[in-house]
Amino acid sequence: MSEQVVRHRSPTPALLVGLILTLATVVGYSWYISGQISRLRQLQTDLTDRNRRDSLQLLRIQNDLNELGLAMRDMLDADQRYPLSAWSAQFERIRADLTDALRRQEEVAATRRTPEQTRLLTSALSQFWDAVDRMFAAAEAGRDGEARTQIRVSLRARQAALNASVAQLLVQNNTSEAETALRVQEIYRDVQRQVYWFLAATLAAIVATSLYLIRANRRLFAGLAALSDERRELARTLIATRESTLKEIARELHDEFGQLLTAMGSMLGRAGRQTPADSPLRDELREIGEVAQAALENVRGLSQTLHPSILEELGLDSAIVSYLSTAERQLGLRVAYERHGEAVPVDDNTAIHVYRVLQEALSNVARHSGAAEARVHLRFEADTLTLEVEDHGRGFTASDDRRASGLGLVAMRERADLLGGMLEILRPAGGGTLVRLKVPAKAVAAT
């Protein structure tokens, strides 16, 4: 399973590439849309400004033509006291202003006039001013009747035609303005559609990336779960193998070496009794017997340390009491032990794990805490078995555990996990360290 997990490629490179492409697309499209909107805004502003200036010039032309119409009406008034030639200066002023207005209008016109329109307008203006010149020439020659006739028959008709042409240009300008507004709206709708398409594509990319990430995470977590199961199984196998090995070694020490040393002690005793009382050999045999007895006691103590047979014979509570009596001498600690609740039979597998956690915790107290004493509490409750090892030293850290021999804190956690329990490393109110192991009742009951 571990080889299969290793073969799975990490999703990080693909996600990074997707992120870079998404960001590049967002930035590029945002730049494009910003440019489109900016150009559209500029186009709208230019067209609106051109239409406004074009309309102003057309209104100026129309106003000049209206002034000409009013002037001609006054010239035909029978009560007019001024000679017709006196209107020449006003006509010249209007003529100059009209010429300037037409030039400016052509420069700013949003819709260019067709060549036919330009030719007709130029021709109509030329004919109008030619008729005006002839009218003023007749008036200056004293032919007022002829001049008024030209005004009435020719000039007013031409002025009306020019007014109609300008009105038509105003209509065209308004139409062009309406078309421009429609064009701008169409461009806005096109940009809006592009934005919607882009948002849809972005959402699709996000959804695809999310689905890929979910799939990759599921595969990754499935692999991690499989590795965790394998690690737990490996830890169970290693710990079981270790306990089995220690149990076998303890049995060999107790049975083989213990019996051998016991036999040696018996033989030395018989030899000493058969030796004369005043013989120096008798003292030597006695000393050898004492050495053999000390070795026998050491072998039995080592056997109990490797695998306490008292666990199987008398139970967890008695095994803890027996171990603490030797631990005080071996570790140099004063240990206060309290049992809470009525002791119940504990499964051998659970008992050895609890016993090993106690050994490791007291070993850590002796090596790392600097405390001279420790407290051990064993609680038998309806739903849990709880072991607590507390000291008031300088505290226990992960770096201390790395310096510790054996499996250390990792082994304690593994044992708790194998029992389906929980191991907590706490700091009590008075300082130091509190190691708490909780084992559920279903793992405690002996079968």
What is 48-92 written as a DSSP string? Answer: HHHHHHHHHHHHHHHHHHHHHHHHHHHHT-TT--S-GGGGHHHHH
Could you tell me if residue 171 is left (phi over 0), alpha (psi between -120 and 50 degrees) or otherwise beta? alpha
Angle ∠(387,391,396) on CA atoms, nearest 5: 95
Crossing angle between the packed helical segments 280-306 and 258-274, to the nearest 10 degrees: 160
Q: Are 198 and 342 part of one and the same domain?
A: no
Q: Are 133 and 10 part of one and the same domain?
A: yes
Q: Are 204 and 320 part of one and the same domain?
A: no
Q: What is the pTM of this model?
A: 0.49
Q: Let me know if residue 286 belongs to a domain.
A: no
Crossing angle between the packed helical segments 156-252 and 408-418, to the nearest 10 degrees: 90
pLDDT < 50 positions in the chain: 1-7, 398, 401-406, 447
Q: Let me know if residue 303 belongs to a domain.
A: no
Give the containing element (helix H, strand E) for 339: strand 334-340
Last residue of one domain, picked from the residues 214, 230, 251: 214
Last residue of one domain, picked from the residues 191, 214, 237: 214
Q: Let me know if residue 246 belongs to a domain.
A: no
Q: Rounded CA gap, 389 and 356, in Å?
A: 12
> Which residue has 């494009």 as its token pair?
32
Question: Euclidean distance between the first and final Cα of the chain, in Å?
Answer: 34
Q: Let me know if residue 271 belongs to a domain.
A: no
Q: Rounded CA gap, 316 and 320, in Å?
A: 6
CATH of the domain at 88: 1.20.1330
Q: Are 203 and 350 part of one and the same domain?
A: no
Q: Let me know if residue 228 belongs to a domain.
A: no
Q: Which of 122, 107, 99, 101 minimizes the C-alpha distance to 58? A: 101
Contact call for residues 62 and 166 (beta carbons, < 8 A): yes
Q: Let me know if residue 87 belongs to a domain.
A: yes
Q: What are phi and psi of 114, to 5 degrees?
A: -70, 160
Q: Rounded CA gap, 103 and 39, in Å?
A: 29
In a 13 Å sphere around the CA of 155, the CA atoms on its Cβ side amount to: 26
Provide the number of structural domains found in the chain. Answer: 2
Q: Are 57 and 173 part of one and the same domain?
A: yes
Contact call for residues 374 and 352 (beta carbons, < 8 A): no
Of the chain, the percentage scoring pLDDT greater than 70 comes to 86
Render pLDDT for 180-227 as a digit per residue (tens, 0 to 9): 778 878 877 887 888 888 888 888 888 887 888 788 888 888 888 888
Q: Are 208 and 61 part of one and the same domain?
A: yes
Q: Are 189 and 43 part of one and the same domain?
A: yes
Domain that holds residue 381: 313-443
Last residue of one domain, picked from the residues 198, 214, 230: 214
CATH of the domain at 379: 3.30.565.10
Q: Are 203 and 336 part of one and the same domain?
A: no
What DSSP state is assigned to residue 433? Answer: E
* Separate counts of helices (H) and strands (E) for the chain: 13, 5
- Report pLDDT for 102: 81
SS3 178: helix
Q: Are 207 and 343 part of one and the same domain?
A: no
Q: Let me know if residue 223 belongs to a domain.
A: no
Q: Are 190 and 319 part of one and the same domain?
A: no
Helix-strand-coil percent breakdown of the chain, rounded to 5?
75, 10, 15
Q: Are 205 and 342 part of one and the same domain?
A: no
Angle ∠(26,29,35) on CA atoms, nearest 5: 135
| Tokens representing residue 75 in the block | 């010239």
Q: Are 324 and 208 part of one and the same domain?
A: no
Q: Let me know if residue 283 belongs to a domain.
A: no
Angle ∠(234,236,238) on CA atoms, nearest 5: 65
- Report pLDDT for 365: 86
Q: What are phi and psi of 305, to 5 degrees?
A: -70, -40
